[in-house]
Amino acid sequence: MVRTEAIEMLRIARTAHMQWMARAKAIVAGVALNKDLVPVMHTDCKFGQWYYGPGQLLNTLKSFQDVERTHAELHQVYSEIFNLIFGSQESSLLKKLFSVDDAHKQEKLLMAKQLIPRLVDISKEMLILLDHLENDLTQMQGNVID
């Protein structure tokens, strides 16, 4: 792979991550989005598909390896958010009779909203790590990555 091609692929993957984050925040804010647009598993999002696919050509770089833990942590926090918002969709008859369901949903939504700052912090850390990776690629000698 050509170094400039790798840098371009990394930039596309970074953009995909930022779009994923925007969608995750939108879902918590109550925007009606298809929840499948914000994959829960870190291997299923567009960034993860790049990272575990074509990006593996960069796996000898420490800066590339450093991204994995943070990316997985980001999706772990989103998994908590996802489960709070979309978790148990089935309500018992008792909950429906006593209207506990709406209060319970609001409580879970509030808990999900409280996780957003953590998600944002992890995302910022990930973007810093991606900047380090791009810097390493930029400073590499030669134009071909093996």
User: 39-71: per-residue pLDDT in tens?
Assistant: 889 999 989 999 999 999 999 999 999 999 999
- For the whole model, what pTM was predicted? 0.83
CATH class entry, domain 3-139? mainly alpha
Cα–Cα separations (whole angstroms), residue 118 to 8, 59, 76: 28, 27, 11
Q: Diameter of the chain by CA atoms? A: 69
Mean model confidence pLDDT for the chain: 86
Segments making up each domain of the chain, as ranges? 3-139
How far is 78 from 24, CA to CA, in rounded Å? 8
Angle at 74 between CA 5 and CA 82, to 5 degrees: 120
pLDDT tens, position by position, 79-90: 999 999 887 444
Q: Is the pLDDT of residue 19 over 60?
A: yes
